């Protein structure tokens, strides 16, 4: 009982990463970078400000969530973006990592559909600590394929638009596109995933209920057959006693 309770109380991977609030806070360093770069006209000041805000956000999330993982994830992406901006010497370099990240993610989601391991289902079950029993149901895999394809479209759309803005040196619009095509489009993909999850849960629950009903029916049939095949010992004893008395009389 104690081990089961402990297992139930363990946080999911999503909670360890800072939850939804952690995901939202991760966009703030981008805003800080663009504002400082526009106001100060100084790339190094913008880089330092973005990194500082990422560290502060990471520490706050670590304190609130009780784990250092949000701090690491908050600083890691911004650190890479800032490093690329520093090496290229251009403010637009800050967005280059995210642009290529989109094409990699989009390709991975598309490939997972081909391999019959749709990432929408795999990631959802992983983040929420569920098993992968859904993979045994073809209809559920198809639903997750649809959700995964929506995710792929989101990432490819980000890449196409932001890559074009990058080539046009539109740093301000890159920031707008980064934010506008971030959580709003992600919300659409999440809706598609929730749709698939609900259909999967409903289907799997119906299958479990059907299996339980079948098991109960088989148990009743087995007991009935056992009752029919098992002789009534009292009745058998009476028959034997009667035959014995009849023989003794003879």
| Model pLDDT, residue 1 | 41
Which among 72, 102, 79 has a CA at the least distance from the CA of 174? 102
Helix (H) or strand (E) holding 103: helix 96-114
DSSP one-letter string for 231-249: --HHHHHHHHHHHHHHHHH
Q: Helices 119-127 and 96-114 meet at what angle, rounded to 10?
A: 110
pTM of this structure: 0.71
Taking each continuous run of H as one helix and of E as one strand, the counts in the chain are: 12, 0
| Model pLDDT, residue 240 | 58
Tell me the pLDDT tens digit for each residue of 77-117: 888 989 999 999 999 999 999 999 999 999 999 999 999 99
Query: Which tokens go with 246?
Result: 């009849």
Tell me the pLDDT tens digit for each residue of 28-83: 888 888 889 888 888 899 999 988 988 887 777 777 765 556 567 667 888 898 99
Which among 35, 32, 40 has a CA at the least distance from the CA of 78? 32
């Amino acid at each position: 009982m104690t081990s089961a309770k402990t297992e139930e109380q363990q946080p999911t991977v999503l909670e360890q990463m800072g939850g939804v609030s952690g995901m939202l806070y991760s966009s703030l360093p981008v805003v800080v970078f663009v504002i400082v770069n526009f106001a100060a006209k100084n790339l190094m000041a913008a880089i330092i400000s973005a990194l500082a805000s990422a560290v502060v956000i990471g520490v706050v999330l670590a304190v609130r969530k009780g784990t250092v993982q949000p701090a690491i994830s908050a600083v890691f992406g911004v650190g890479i973006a800032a490093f690329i901006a520093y090496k290229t010497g251009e403010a637009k370099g800050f967005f280059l990592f995210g642009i290529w990240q989109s094409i990699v993610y989009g390709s991975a989601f598309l490939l997972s559909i081909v391999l019959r391991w749709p990432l929408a289902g795999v990631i959802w079950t992983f983040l929420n600590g569920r098993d992968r029993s859904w993979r045994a149901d073809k209809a559920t895999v198809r639903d997750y394929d649809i959700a995964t394809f929506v995710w792929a479209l989101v990432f490819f759309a980000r890449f196409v638009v932001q890559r074009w803005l990058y080539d046009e040196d539109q740093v301000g619009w890159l920031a707008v596109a980064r934010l506008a095509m971030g959580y709003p489009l992600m919300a659409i993909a999440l809706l598609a995933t929730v749709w698939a999850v609900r259909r999967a849960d409903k289907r799997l629950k119906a299958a479990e209920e059907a299996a339980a009903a079948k098991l109960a029916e088989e148990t009743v049939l087995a007991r009935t057959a056992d009752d029919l095949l098992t002789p009534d010992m009292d009745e058998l004893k009476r028959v034997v006693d009667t035959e014995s008395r009849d023989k003794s009389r003879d």
